[in-house]
Structure 1
Amino acid sequence: MVTEAQDNGRASGLRGGLGELCYSSGLLHTLQRLRAWWLKDLRVLAYHRIMPLPDPATYDFDLELISTSPERFREQMMMLRERFRPMRLSDVAQMIEAGKTIPADAVVVTFDDGYDDNYHIAFPILRELGVPATFFVSTGHIDTGKPYAYDWLVHMILLAPADARLRVPELGIDTPVPTEREERRALGTELLSRMKEMDALAQSALIERLQLEWNLPADHTPAECRPMTWDQLREMHAAGMEIGSHGVHHRMLSKLPLADMEFEVQHSRDTLLRELGPAVGLMSYPVGGDRAFDDAVVKATREAGFAVACSYICGTNPEPASNRYSLYRLPVERNMGPGWFAAMLTMPSLMSYPTASRVPAEAQAEPCSS
């Protein structure tokens, strides 16, 4: 049984404290009006999971995927509705096509992966408040109901036998799995970060190898990491939510062989058309940092008929027509109180976390204008 952690609602860190101060002083309203007059940039919020914050001592999956609690999510969506202009991502795509300027204070809400708490918790709140959102799903996981590989990796490290060793010769890792749970979480975080330098098929092989070594096969899906179903997605789609692609198997597209990458892009698009019918093609690159997509991925995305694509690079989009296939987003994290969240939307360059570049500047994908 998972125990729910108590959230005291206090601001976290320097950004959180500054955000709460600006929020409580009323300064943000003035700053927002000034910014809307000066800069009409598109803000895209990035969420993963919405769920009661669990106790780390009893939760056997990746805590970093939890964006916020249901209560805070409701507060955030109410703030969007009252102070900003929530927009559908497909409407943004159509405005780009028409050469129109994105309106001031435009905000798009997006979710990555396709966990079923998106349906059970986020969707009812969005529907009640009339806030549109785009859910990017990895279609292979929706098809099979199997757990997501990165989350399963953290799960395995948390539950590995007491005498287990983590051997990853590709990364020069050979270490006993720690006894303490907090240290196991830290090891999982480190491994997730480092293994994303490997090619995508090698990542999959590593996870499969550890399943065999530790006898923790991903042949069942615990309730805590279950993907949505197509019936749930059809219900959400019929209610006005948008469903986009997050690939087939949640693999880093730029780290796949060309044929496999093109399959991930095209097959995910074909599956969405088959299950949900015609719609504006919307893509979010799995992992989404600058090492997760490149010119070849952008080209495949355009040729598959997608109208826009989101990265996971932190920032806003002053001219979204110039980077429509690499839209920047603002990640929402579980330690954000209402003040920090409001301040991030009002002063994103100051209040959001910068994304560290993982590839040389000359190797980064160029923005696309059409």
Structure 2
Amino acid sequence: MLVNSAYKFIGNRLSPAGTRARLSILIYHRVLAETDPIFPNEVTAQQFDAQMARLKLVFNVLPLHEAVTRLNAGTLPARSVCITFDDGYADNLTLATPILKKHGLHATFFIATAYLNGGRMFNDTVIEAIRHSSSDGIDLSALGLGRHDVDNPQAKRDAINKILPKVKYLPLDQREDKVAELARMVSDIPLANDLMMTTEQLKALHAAGMGIGGHTSRHPILATLDDSALHQEIAEGKEFLETTLGEKIALFAYPNGKPDTDYLPWQVSIVRELGFDAAVSTQRGVSTQTSDLFQLPRFTPWHLNPSRYVPALLDNLRRCA
């Protein structure tokens, strides 16, 4: 209790109520049932539960749209924070949402709509293919992706981390073709097709009171697209969500999300023109009343040790956009 009081005192100094408030926006992707041997730092349901318990003891957790509105108006409470998830994984509904509801917390989920209903994101095709490789090594030289040892979880993680940056920034169709060929070369079993939500699960997430935001259709790197393709990707995702859920989609998350690398300054205006009220990046930091509402930073809480979770968020409060 004394520790939480101290955290609140520090939080009040760094993020007071009103016009001097600083808004923290947290970013997650998945919540796993158990530890992944290849990616042991991915948060599990038990760890997420512990994080949410500590978060609500120190911070004021708000829905993102409400927080953005109050940030702009200068009426945020002290120590304000929002929770967001990217991409649309099924475990967002099955594992994360029950924990959020248990603690009375709200989150906003940004959905890449093309991968619903049995689709699989390019990174997951790479991950799952290498996960299920039965060889000690793989030769992807024909794809320009090199040779890799994959005889243990650490080696598989190293291989994945070397391959993904090489395919991430390829043109969309080329990216999909290359990872499909990689999967054919590496694994001889069908890869998981239930990682992402179905449309019915998306509706259930919405019915549970959670926020839904746009994240394009196929999760491209926006900086690689021309004006027409960019507009189509963002508009298609928004239209699908609005038609499915029967309400305006007001929030957007840039895929991958690094300013000047994954999206460009001129592209921000297209997001605004398409009718969103605000957008979030993956630039680390917090927002103030003077921040660009269409480039709000987010912070990934990497620390899985619950005792380090709140201190990491307090440290991030020192970083203003």
TM-score range, shorter chain: 0.7 to 0.9
Aligned to 1:145: 118
Deviation at 1:310, TM superposition (A): 1.0
Give the 3-state SS of the residue equivalent to 1:329 in structure 2.
coil
Aligned to 1:158: 131
Q: Could you state the TM-score of these two structures normalised by the residue count of structure 1?
A: 0.76
Q: Does 1:210 align with 2:182?
A: yes
1:19-30 superposed matches below 5 A: 27-30=6-9
Give the distance between the partners of 1:179 and 1:253, measured in 2 at CA. Answer: 35
Aligned to 2:243: 274
Deviation at 1:122, TM superposition (A): 1.0
Give the distance between the partners of 2:230 and 2:149, measured in 1 at CA. Answer: 33
Give the 3-state SS of the residue equivalent to 2:27 in structure 1.
strand
Cα distance, 1:165–1:90 mapped onto 2, change above 3 Å: same
Cα distance, 1:80–1:275 mapped onto 2, change above 3 Å: same
Q: Does 1:78 align with 2:53?
A: yes
Of the candidates 256, 259, 266, which is equivalent to residue 287 of structure 1? 256
Cα distance, 1:336–1:96 mapped onto 2, change above 3 Å: same
Cα distance, 1:282–1:25 mapped onto 2, change above 3 Å: closer
Of the candidates 87, 96, 110, which is equivalent to residue 62 of structure 2? 87
Letter in 2 for 1:188: I
Q: How many residues are paired up?
A: 315
Cα distance, 1:55–1:307 mapped onto 2, change above 3 Å: closer
Cα distance, 1:343–1:181 mapped onto 2, change above 3 Å: closer
Letter in 2 for 1:227: M
Give the 3-state SS of the residue equivalent to 2:105 in structure 1.
coil
Deviation at 1:285, TM superposition (A): 1.2
Letter in 1 for 2:25: V
Contact 1:90-1:280 at 8 Å conserved across structures:
no
1:240-255 superposed matches below 5 A: 240-255=209-224
Give the 3-state SS of the residue equivalent to 1:164 in structure 2.
strand
Give the 3-state SS of the residue equivalent to 1:250 in structure 2.
coil
Deviation at 1:109, TM superposition (A): 0.4
Q: Could you state the TM-score of these two structures normalised by the residue count of structure 2?
A: 0.87
Give the 3-state SS of the residue equivalent to 2:277 in structure 1.
strand
Give the distance between the partners of 1:176 and 1:312, measured in 2 at CA. Answer: 29
Deviation at 1:280, TM superposition (A): 4.4
Matched-pair identity in %:
25
Cα distance, 1:176–1:280 mapped onto 2, change above 3 Å: closer
Cα distance, 1:257–1:208 mapped onto 2, change above 3 Å: farther
Give the 3-state SS of the residue equivalent to 1:306 in structure 2.
coil
Contact 2:214-2:249 at 8 Å conserved across structures:
no
Aligned to 1:315: 285
User: What do residues 21-48 of structure 1 show as CA deviations (whole Å, max 9, x unaligned)?
Assistant: xx96974343223223495100001111
Give the 3-state SS of the residue equivalent to 2:219 in structure 1.
coil
